[in-house]
């Protein structure tokens, strides 16, 4: 990671060289730490003796750490989240965008859209809340210039899902695990999702990465497509909205 927030979460972003100039090699002893601009966790400074290789690194993950909780900027070679780092941050706008997302009508449409792609029965309120909590931790709302309609697409990539076995008079289908990934131009950041929507899509895949065959897979990225897929979301009751907001 080439930049970190100086001395506090959401502080001014500095390069390793600038951080060293301001805090010196004794930064830990002084209690002046660099923080990740995405997850707000303290990071470590490396390469002060070779500025060409200098960087900030995240702490090692614990033995029971869930990879879905990892920071996109940790750069641990997880292809599932490749290219989802932002071009920049707008924390003030992010707080406003999150409140807008949680407004009744927007939350209804977001849940109905996600449920339509995941399929009925595979997206309980608790799992949707988990998706929002991860979006909070990764500060998705604070991505510079991110439009509201993109957020539900990103939420779908932040969880694993289970398709239960279905029994019919003719046969019984097997259940399976699946998740969503973005197909997007290589060497692009998250802004490609809204700046290059014709070149991007959301793909539903088995846990091994093979695409699931379905008429809506992969699914295109656009505000109109998202709203159309959500359909009439009036069935999402006020009571259920409260369930979705419980810990969000």
User: Does 98 fall in a domain?
Assistant: yes
Judgement on whether residues 70 and 96 belong to the same structural domain of the protein: no
* Residue-level pLDDT at 242: 96
Judgement on whether residues 9 and 38 belong to the same structural domain of the protein: yes
Would the pLDDT of 110 be above 80? yes
- Euclidean distance between CA atoms 88 and 142, whole angstroms: 9
Judgement on whether residues 125 and 57 belong to the same structural domain of the protein: no
Residue with tokens 């730490």, as numbered in its chain: 33
User: Does 86 fall in a domain?
Assistant: no
Judgement on whether residues 197 and 172 belong to the same structural domain of the protein: yes
Instruction: Output the average pLDDT for the chain.
Output: 93
Q: Mean pLDDT over residues 40-66, rounded?
A: 91
Lowest-confidence segment of 149-163, 169-183, 193-207 by average pLDDT: 169-183
- Provide the number of structural domains found in the chain: 2
Six token digits for residue 138: 């990764």
CB-based contact 168:190 (threshold 8 Å): no
* Residue-level pLDDT at 4: 97
Judgement on whether residues 128 and 195 belong to the same structural domain of the protein: yes
Judgement on whether residues 147 and 213 belong to the same structural domain of the protein: yes
- Euclidean distance between CA atoms 49 and 143, whole angstroms: 32
CB-based contact 216:201 (threshold 8 Å): no
Q: Is pTM, for the whole model, over 0.85?
A: yes
Q: Ranked by mean pLDDT, which of 119-128, 150-159, 162-171 comes out on top? A: 150-159
- The helix/strand/coil state of 16 is helix
């Amino acid at each position: 990671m080439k930049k970190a927030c100086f001395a506090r979460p959401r502080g001014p972003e500095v390069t390793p060289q600038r951080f060293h100039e301001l805090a010196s090699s004794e930064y830990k002893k002084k209690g002046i730490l660099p923080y990740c601009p995405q997850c707000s966790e303290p990071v470590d400074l490396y390469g002060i003796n070779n500025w060409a290789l200098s960087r900030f690194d995240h702490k090692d993950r614990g033995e029971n750490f869930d990879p879905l909780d990892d920071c996109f900027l940790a750069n641990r070679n997880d292809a599932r989240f490749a290219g989802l780092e932002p071009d920049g941050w707008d924390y003030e706008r992010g707080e406003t965008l999150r409140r807008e997302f949680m407004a009744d009508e927007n939350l209804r449409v977001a849940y109905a859209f996600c449920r339509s792609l995941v399929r009925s029965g595979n997206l309980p309120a608790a799992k949707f809340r988990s998706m929002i909590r991860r979006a909070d931790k990764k500060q998705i709302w604070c991505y510079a210039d991110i439009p509201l309609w993109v957020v539900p697409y990103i939420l779908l990539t932040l969880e694993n899902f289970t398709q239960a076995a279905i029994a019919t008079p003719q046969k019984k289908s097997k259940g399976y695990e699946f998740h969503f990934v973005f197909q997007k131009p290589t060497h692009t950041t998250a802004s490609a999702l809204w700046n290059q929507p014709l070149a991007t899509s959301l793909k539903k895949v088995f846990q091994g990465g093979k695409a699931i065959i379905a008429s809506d897979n992969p699914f295109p990225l656009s505000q109109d497509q998202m709203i159309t897929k959500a359909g009439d979301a009036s069935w999402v009751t006020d009571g259920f909205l409260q369930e979705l907001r419980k810990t969000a």
